[in-house]
Amino acid sequence: MTENAEHVTDEAPTKAAAPLRTVAIIPARGGSKGVPRKNLQRVGGVALVARAVRAAVAAGVERVVVSTDDDEIAAVAASAGARVIRRPAELSGDTASSESAILHALDELESGGEAYEVVAFLQATSPFIPSDALAAAVADVAADRADSVFSAHETYGFLWRRNAASAAVAVNHEAAHRPRRQDREPHHLETGAFYVFRAAGFRESRHRFFGRIRIAEVPEWTAIEIDDEQQLGIARALAVRHDGVEPIAAHAVVTDFDGVHTDDTALVDADGRERVRVSREDGMGVALLRRAGLPMLILSTEVNPVVRSRAEKLRVPVLHGIDDKESALRGWAEEVGVALTDIAYLGNDVNDLPAMRIVGWPVAVADAHPLVLEEARVVLTRRGGHGAVRELIERVLSS
């Protein structure tokens, strides 16, 4: 063999290990005392259980499962892309543990021929699960860098507890010594959003914490966990700020009129006739929607000739004088053959809430009532009468 010859051996090439299979399990029972039907409450216009499913899908988890005893939760979860496993009644009460639901789901999957080595346990009551942190936690367990990983945020807070005599006792510091923040060691507060662990170790320990435990650090603002109505309200306010811009994948557009096509003001002459201000931009947007062949409807509580006149100019069907917008919207959707989940409804005031709550894309103008902003999945940058309808339509068409 010459000096430059290639060395050949009889050894077989090393086979790369197959990647570990991953599953996300989201326990979501129907009962809840603090917030009725909690897992179906909307934050940013999306049911909590659906938000958890979306977070797991975005993190690249192979299979996403929702364990539930509730038909409506099952339907919402399936629509969001999850496989539904029905939880038996004995595992669905107030005293049933999350661990029992996870073990049941794993057993059901394995009985159907699906075995997973890595489990991500997500809690739907945490509406802001960071998908990037979840994906990194799954990767840590799959790469054998940890057996169990949980989400937590860094805190420098001074913690206290009350003793039996109700006296305050310092927990993580000395009461007589108050060092500056930069001189203190941080602690990490568990958020409850997600836990990732090896399936085999979980089966053996019957607990989410075992073996080599790591922290998946997440931003503090994501740490809210919904247990009462006040926390739900805070989460809805945070969603307006943090959910960001997403394509509006709707197949039909329904709008209110006053405060949406107009700036919610009216000029009234001596004979009681009203004049309103509308945006020419909105007219062009509606024309673009018509050309694309997507259905549109104006749904208004007001009985006013100006509503019909504007609808006729836009060549859009109108239902006005409608007190029950939810029923009217359901009827129209059935008539045109569009699923409610595929409708974008644009509103500005509290009489729009019943309609917004039944569609897949509840949308608010920028200057909408605070309760409407809380319910919206999307909040536009433009105000009513200032191109909000055009903005919505362009985002629908761009999707």
Helices 48-58, 131-142: axis angle to 10 degrees equals: 50
Q: What is the mean pLDDT of residues 144-165?
A: 94
Residue 12 pLDDT grade (very low, low, confident, very high; cuts 50, 70, 90): low
Q: What is the pLDDT of residues 99-109, one digit of tens each?
A: 999 999 999 99
Mean pLDDT of the chain: 91
Residue 3 pLDDT grade (very low, low, confident, very high; cuts 50, 70, 90): very low
Q: Which amino acid is at 2?
A: T
pLDDT at 265: 85
Same fold, 22-242 and 252-398: no
The domains of the chain are located at 22-242, 252-398
pLDDT at 77: 95
pLDDT exceeds cutoff 70 at 29 = yes
Relative to beta strand 22-27, strand 63-68 is parallel
Residue 5 pLDDT grade (very low, low, confident, very high; cuts 50, 70, 90): very low
Share of the chain above pLDDT 90, in %: 73
Q: What is the mean pLDDT of residues 200-225?
A: 95
Strand partners, 64: 24
pLDDT at 45: 87
Least confidently predicted of 25-34, 74-83, 132-141, 242-251: 242-251
pLDDT at 302: 79
CATH superfamily of 252-398: HAD superfamily/HAD-like (3.40.50.1000)
The three-state secondary structure class of 162 is strand
pLDDT exceeds cutoff 50 at 162 = yes
Q: What is the pLDDT of residues 54-65, one digit of tens each?
A: 999 999 999 999
pLDDT at 48: 96
Q: What is the pLDDT of residues 332-363, one digit of tens each?
A: 999 999 999 999 999 999 999 999 999 999 99
Residues 6+ apart with CB under 8 A from 348: 256, 258, 259, 260, 264, 364, 365, 367, 368, 369, 372, 384
pLDDT at 89: 85
Tokens of 206: 């019957």
Helices 71-80, 48-58: axis angle to 10 degrees equals: 30
pLDDT at 16: 59
pLDDT exceeds cutoff 90 at 14 = no
pLDDT at 6: 47
The C-alpha atoms of residue 209 and residue 336 are separated, in whole angstroms, by 52
The DSSP code for 380 is: -
pLDDT at 58: 95
pLDDT exceeds cutoff 80 at 387 = yes
The C-alpha atoms of residue 392 and residue 365 are separated, in whole angstroms, by 9
22-242, CATH topology level: Spore Coat Polysaccharide Biosynthesis Protein SpsA; Chain A (3.90.550)
Q: Which of 78-92, 129-143, 266-280, 369-383 has the highest mean pLDDT?
A: 129-143
CB count in 10 Å sphere of residue 300: 23
